[in-house]
Structure 1
């Protein structure tokens, strides 16, 4: 199995990766300021088993989407239970990118102060608590508050995953990004596929069907606990981080802006798909259980492709051709949903699943478009926060168009139209350059 062989090779190369990672962060600092005192030695990385770190990354990735896709599978029941209009439901589907934009920008600062492990661990706790309380908080406001808490934990973890990968696996960015992207896609698909039948097994109460996902988030807390007191093993020394990012203004980089726009438009498509695709199929006469399964098919396409695409992208000097290929699949899928949503449902689900793999491609480009770990942290926070801010209006506008037009023609036209600027931004972001060269003062 390809992922297993990649994992085995990571185990065998642990010592050499450790040497390369240490050299890439500490050595430049000593050359720039030879009079500076040596940083305090951190615990040996061998004291912390690499498999535990990999397990933490994978379990974290599994929890980065069930809060959203489980809601998409039960959106009609939640709307009925809380008395939501179509516009209010559109607002609910816009909450994820809003929270990701608001809280994601805080992640680098929190990581520098507390260490990435502590921030990710706290993020998993926030997800568990938020998912447990939101179905029972009472009313739309309480549901939104619980969702926001869970999404805050997702936001900081979204930003820090590329940072951890760049720090620990500098020569395997594609492979490790593929590994956690596979886990993310698996968690996304699992929530979409099993939420409806699991809700029926739990007595048919949508509250129980949503709350059960808190258990998965609680499990993801455990692997990070041994690393909480070992900040230095998961991040460069604070002085090194400060010097590495000195003078870096990511917002001055055209590549950073192109990547942020690409990230935002692919996120718009993804959250519209996760929030509304099951409803499109249900309105076309597809039973609720099958509609949830179709959404799961869309999400599960990311499991194999999320491993293949980052590895392929990391080997190419320009990622533009991959951007174009994924976007064409999206255009075909939207056209199919308009012409024959029920008749060709499986084909459209597959095509949109391929198109959604723009997300792991964007994450891979974040790791490739910066030279240093500090640069990746800044670029990741900028691209994701700005990108999610761009994506906020999309799901809300789809809900408004759906309610006022009484059908899916206008929303699908909007989704297809947004693919054109997504292609343009992705091609620009895929050029072989790094933001440090464009954004350093």
Structure 2
């Protein structure tokens, strides 16, 4: 497949068009996407990305097709991991849920711009100095080590670190109001023009995107040196990330071993880069400046290894005791909250179904060991408050309806709830 100026122009126009469509069709009016909406658009964006890779096969360019898919899967996994940090930042700024997709879309746009800059710089450096792959490889191994170290840190340490670096700096440097004014970036109060938290959170996420590019770009250059493939794999991995966030909301937290899987992938690509650099060595102090006879890792093997690591990571996360415990706690909170939101129009069947789910998951959460509750509940007071409120509501309703059994069930649960779970 010939990659020329026309190819670049058409591709960039398509990507810009998709971004503009997102801005004007989806986030122009603040709302929280439904599961159905998120699922449909996630499927559309993933479908576009997969179909794009088939174009290389149509032109008989199998090598670039494999490189594209390997890069796309790697960048998609890294992008999903980035959502965890976005969650911490948005939680720190207490972004209302209906405005979160606008913040995410800004983050995606800024990530695309910043990574495009890094791609161009990386391609220029490789053209001038091929031995830069040594540095890329060492950088990825160091990043993998840092990611492993961060994963082993406590959740409080991770949250404090994100808050110190991103949130506190933005709040200290920029004069702002503490209140959201819909999704406005600026507001005038008492004649003074102030920045709203909406802009602050965008600044924080933009700064984070630059940091993410340092592991993202070397990783994909370890799979392909074709700038067009690097750009398209990166761009399509970011497209649809906003919809994916709302589709797998809750599941994100359950991927408890995702960071370990990404650590393994980054370490693997780091080794692959160093082997590639040795195979095409030009450094005089290594083997006298001659190529080192080492076995390099073909791209199709890299693709299989990356897919295998991700499959093992997801299965281990969802089936491990830690993953199951987190699912139990999340469901107990979710169904208790949903019960309190039932309105008077809810049918008797809907109310019974909501009660059954709330009871089931609350019981299972109570059966978890204190170890898991301490490790997995970030805000114990908030968690307890949601559980208490739901069962106090049901207790009162059951008493007024003369349902002694339901009243006793909720009374028992409320009495067990202390200030923390």
TM-score band by shorter chain is: 0.3 to 0.5
Q: Normalised by the size of structure 2, how large is the TM-score? A: 0.33
Structure (1 or 2) with the larger CA radius of gyration = 2
Looking at secondary structure, tell me which structure has more helix per residue.
1
